[in-house]
Structure 1
Amino acid sequence: MRKQPNIIITGTPGVGKTVHSEQIAQDTGLKHLAINQVAKERDCFDGYDEERGSWIIDEDKLLDAIEDEVKQGGYIIDWHACDLFPKSWIDLVVVLRCPSTEIYHDRLSARGYSAAKIEENLDAEIFGMLLEEAREAFDEEIVVELESENTEQIDSNCARIATWVESWRKNRAEQGDSDDEDSS
């Protein structure tokens, strides 16, 4: 039984996954696992998509590369997809959203994305594709949708998730204590 939870912070590019993940890691002591960085460091690529201007991740290789660590718990997994991770690894899935198309468009433009890439991501955000993916891949009670358009929302979201982590830890500790009592 894990003593620390694993959380996925997901959403379309530019919704604030990394900002949230770094703050939550600082607030809770969990480790930030930025999947793009892990894929680079551990050579988990299966080619390059010229049209999108991004690397194609070999999901099987990626899962093999992080399995031993993540199974032990204590990770915030920061990535735009969540359905590849086994249910048994994950305790909470946070889907960040940016409902204002103007704010979202400006964020993507500031990143230098092409018009086609901006349009693709705007469509994914408008239609809630990653939220739907999360709800299909994980039990409904562990999937949470949070808005991430401004600093106040980010601060509130991070505080809410940190409170959840503390509650999870307390519940696990209490379960461990009752298991110890049961075996006496």
Structure 2
Amino acid sequence: MASPQKVRALPNVLITGTPGTGKTLTASQVVERTGMSHFNVSELAKEGGLYEGWDEQFQSYILDEDKVVDELNDSLVSGGCIVEYHGCDFFPERWFDAIFVLRTDNALLYDRLMKRFLMHIDVLMLYRKFEMIPTKTF
């Protein structure tokens, strides 16, 4: 017989969805209203070196899912956490009391991602203007 799962004082919530759907904005607003802890998995991975390498084709880090799970485990066992990431298949099911999948209209999503892309181009042009070499942060 399985042992009963310990009930947390505060729930854990996963906010997931395609890039550009508003995960960070939604998570920030929930955190502001509730005081819960906020974990942006992409930022956590960059800051903590929780990646296996760099993907040249997609110009992005390759997430080390095991390291991310190890890093988040203690906080999520305690509860009261908002986690945001564009995927959800590697997180243990026991961590979350609610999962929200954000979606948006394709035309709106295209506009948001195009603005994001153009902002990155502007930053790269600024680096070039001042003859600086950008690090792989995009």
Give the TM interval when normalised to the shorter protein.
0.7 to 0.9
Which structure is richer in relative contact order (CA contacts within 8 A, separation 6 or more)?
2
Structure 1 residue ranges, 4+ long, deviating more than 3 angstroms after superposition: none
Q: Distance in 1 between matches of 2:62 and 2:92?
A: 20
Q: TM-score, normalised by structure 1?
A: 0.59
Q: Distance in 2 between matches of 1:90 and 1:12?
A: 19
Q: Secondary structure at the match of 1:69?
A: helix
- Counterpart in 2 of 1:168? none
Q: Distance in 1 between matches of 2:117 and 2:47?
A: 24
Q: Distance in 2 between matches of 1:109 and 1:55?
A: 21
- Counterpart in 2 of 1:12? 18
- Which of 86, 105, 109 aligns to 1:104? It is 109
Residue 82 of structure 1 deviates from its aligned partner by 0.9
Q: Distance in 2 between matches of 1:81 and 1:18?
A: 14
2:21 is equivalent to residue 23 of structure 1: no
Residue 53 of structure 1 deviates from its aligned partner by 1.3
Q: TM-score, normalised by structure 2?
A: 0.78
Please give the per-residue CA displacement for 1:145-165, whole angstroms capped at 9, x wherever unaligned: xxxxxxxxxxxxxxxxxxxxx
- Counterpart in 2 of 1:58? 64
What's the % identity of the aligned pairs?
42
Unaligned runs of 5+ in 2: 1-6, 119-138
Root mean square deviation of aligned Cα = 1.1
Q: Distance in 2 between matches of 1:2 and 1:101?
A: 37
More helix by share: 1
Q: Distance in 2 between matches of 1:20 and 1:80?
A: 13
Aligned length: 112
1:154-169 alignment to 2 at 5 Å? Answer: none
Unaligned runs of 5+ in 1: 114-184
2:6 is equivalent to residue 3 of structure 1: no
Please give the per-residue CA displacement for 1:125-167, whole angstroms capped at 9, x wherever unaligned: xxxxxxxxxxxxxxxxxxxxxxxxxxxxxxxxxxxxxxxxxxx
Q: Distance in 2 between matches of 1:41 and 1:18?
A: 17
- Counterpart in 2 of 1:87? 93
Q: Secondary structure at the match of 2:112?
A: helix
